[in-house]
Structure formats: C-alpha cells, structure tokens
Amino acid sequence: MPCDGNASCTDNGRTAVCPDPADLSFRIATLRVLDEQGRVQPTAEPDVSEAELVRLYRAMTLAREADQRMLKLQRQGRLGTFPLCTGQEAAACGSAFALRPDDWYAGGYRDLGARLLRGEKLETSLLYWAGYEEGNVSPEAGRTLPTSAIVAAQTLHAVGIAYAMEYHGERAAVLTSLGDGGTSEGDFHEAMNFASVWQAPVIFLCVNNQWAISMPRSGQTRSRTIAQKAIAYDMPGVLVDGNDVLAVYQATREALDRARAGGGPTLIEAVTYRLMMHTTADDPGRYQSESELQEWWRRDPLPRFRTYLEDKGFWNADRQASLDEEIKAEIDAAVQALESREGLAPDAQFEHVYDTRHARLEDQRAEFLANLARESHHA
C-alpha cells in the first residue's frame, strides 16, 4: 500500500530523496519499503517468494555488469554510443518485474534491466547499440516495443496500445517509462491527456534521474514533484524512492492491478540518480558536482537490495560469487556473439528507413559514400 508519508518514509535521508508530503499543498502518495541501509519497513513489505526476489536481484546485477562491460567495449571502439543505466536498475527492474507476460512494455533507452526481465537476450541489446537492425527485434521478449530513442514518443505508443486493448476487451495493461526531461515534451502531455480521457490501462513511470543530459531537473519544471502532474489529468500520482526496488515494484503492481480492473492510468515518479554519464559521448564532470554524485552512490540500489536479501537469509557471499561467475559467462557469450557477426557496411544507416528505396535518401547515400571515399583517399 502506498503510505501517507508517515510510516515508511521517515528516515533521515527522505527529504533528499523526495519532498516532505507535509510541505505540499495537495496530497501525493509516497512509498518506500527499504531504507537507505536496506532495512525493511515490515508493514510495506510485498509478498514475493525467495526465488522471485533472487530473479529480480539477478536482473539488476546483470544490467549493472553489462552496462560496465559495454562502457569498456565502447571505449575500445567495439560498440557504438550508448546511454548508461548504472544507478537506475531498481526503477527499471522493479517496474518491469510487476508486469505479466500479456502486458505490454514501451520503454526508453536507459531501461536495459527492464528489457532483460522481459526476456530480451543481452545479445539483442548489444546488437541494438552496435547499430544492427536485428537489435530492434526481440520476439523472446514478447509484448515489448523496440527501444525508443525519441524522448517521450513511447508514451503515445503506450496509450494507443492500451486504448486498443481496452477496446478489444483485453484485461491487460501497458507500462511505459520516460525520463524527467521527457515530461517537458508535448508527447508526454498528449499521452497523459488521452490516457485519462479514455481511462486507458496504462502506467507512466517517470524515472527522475535529476538530469536531462546537462539540464538539471530544476531547469525542467517548477513543479515540486513530477508525480503531481497527475493531478491535472485527474489520475493517481505516486512518488516512490526509485532506488528502492521493492517500492517501485509495489507501486507499479498496484497501478497495474487498478488499470487491468478498469481503473484507468497512473503516473509514478521514481526518484533516482544517473550515476554515470548521459551517454558515452558526454562528460558529466563539466556540470555535475562530485559531492552530489558521491551522495547518490551511497544510495546505490544494488547493495541496498542485497542487504535485504541477506537479512532474510536468501543471500550470502557464496551465492554472490557464483552469480558473478554466471553473469560474467553470460556477458562474455553475448559479446562473442556480437563480435562474430559480419561488420556493418558504412552505409547501413540508410537501410530500414523506408520499406522500399526512396530516391532522395538514395541521393544522400551516394553523397555520403562519395565523401567517405574522398576522405579515405586523402588519408
């Protein structure tokens, strides 16, 4: 149950994570299950089996380790530019963990853990960021849309799907995720509006990582919370500690249950932090304060969830060691599969734009190839 701000949100770190509900002139439900040390608030603890909790922890760990390996690959020129998800595993994994296979998922570009939980192979994610069209296709992930690099566009797709399901009488729901910067896009507001008008079964998860590239959240909106934007659309808005995987799971689960039962959309704000660069093409040292970064590393969602699992007797150093080995082997295999592929032609970017070849695009391709030939001649 979302608390009223009194029960599970009273530890010292809370005000740095989300505003005190008492400071707001309206009511926004807030939710936290694990405090920053990983201690559980028993009345808020969701009922999840040991095996399922371990599956969730594994997905978070795989996302973190894959992210860090991808960074090395990119630095070695073996992978394209990509956005890092380190620090945001609880938001991505906790939300996707609440989905059923017959629900849809329409994510953004920083949701690796969610895609893995949906069943996408790591190799497919690597193919996407290496520029292969096949990276857009992951039948193993079921009802999961391809990665959206267009900020907030996926929220419209999600509402369309949710409306169609409602129309056909399907009792399933859609989860879409976007960033704090995405809430400045018209697409987001159009999506929220029609989701509400149609009472479509869709959950908007805003992963507030405090930054839109170098633009801080304060330069994005004057709203004290992003969750409160739900009020304008007359839908529930929930503020969760986005580094608390159980809180994200619980909030998403309740919103999904409500949506499937005909209760309409929900906006969830998961407050977290981008611990690495925006993408590998960014240098956050130019705009991010070191002390703020350190403050958020202290709230790292992974050790926090691990402490919870250890306290329950579900986890220990031996299990961690074998998981680390298993994950390393999985990542090695995915990288090997990527690198055993034939390389992409330099003009591969001109394929797949249209179903049939388009004269103007073909002119651009010819110009591009001519430039490339000229440059390599000079070199």
Ligand X SMILES: Cc1ncc(C[n+]2csc(CCOP(=O)(O)OP(=O)(O)O)c2C)c(N)n1
| Residues annotated as part of the active site | 274, 278, 287
CB of 87 to ligand X, least distance (A): 11
Instruction: State how far the Cα of 73 lies from the Cα of 131, in Å rounded to an integer.
Output: 14
In this structure, are residues 229 and 183 in contact, taking their beta carbons and an 8 Å threshold? Answer: yes
Q: What is the C-alpha to C-alpha distance for residues 365 and 351, in angstroms, rounded to an integer?
A: 10
Alpha helices in 287-347 (DSSP H): 290-297, 301-311, 317-339
Q: How far is the CB of 228 from ligand X (least distance, A)?
A: 17
What part of residues 353-372 is at the interface with ligand X (CB under 6 A)?
none
- Which one among 16, 137, 149, 366 touches ligand X, defined by CB under 6 A? 149
Closest contact distance (angstroms) between CB of 130 and Mg ion is 24
Partner touching 2 among Mg ion, ligand X, none, CB below 5 to 8 Å by kind: none
- Please state whether beta strands 202-208 and 266-271 pair in parallel, antiparallel, or not at all (unpaired): parallel
CB of 209 to ligand X, least distance (A): 5
User: What secondary structure does DSSP assign to 35-63, as a single string?
Assistant: -TT--B-GGG-----HHHHHHHHHHHHHH
Binding residue (CB under 6 A) for ligand X from 2, 179, 236, 265: 179
Q: Please answer whether residues 245 and 239 qualify as being in contact, where contact means their C-beta atoms are separated by less than 8 angstroms.
A: no
Tell me how many degrees the CA angle 269-274-278 measures, rounded to the nearest 5.
115
Among 177, 183, 209, 252, interactor with Mg ion by CB under 5 A: 209
8 Å CB contact between 208 and 273: no
* Contact status: 110 vs ligand X (CB under 6 A): yes
Choice from 150, 164, 333, 366 touching ligand X (CB under 6 A): 150
Does the footprint of ligand X cover residue 211 (CB under 6 A)? yes
149 contact choice in Mg ion, ligand X, none (CB below 5 to 8 Å, kind-dependent): ligand X
Residue 87 found at the interface with ligand X (CB under 6 A): no
C-beta contacts of 217-220 below 8 A and 24+ residues apart:
217/180, 220/180, 220/181, 220/183, 220/184
- In the complex, what is the shortest distance from the CB of residue 224 to ligand X, in angstroms, rounded to a whole number? 17
**Residue 229 vs 258, nearer CB to ligand X:** 229
8 in Cβ contact with 238 (< 8 Å): no
By CB under 6 A, name the one of 24, 71, 213, 231 that touches ligand X: 213
Q: Which of 130, 212, 227, 248 binds ligand X (CB under 6 A)?
A: 212
Q: Report the interface residues with ligand X, using CB under 6 A.
A: 110, 149-151, 179-182, 209, 211-213, 274, 278
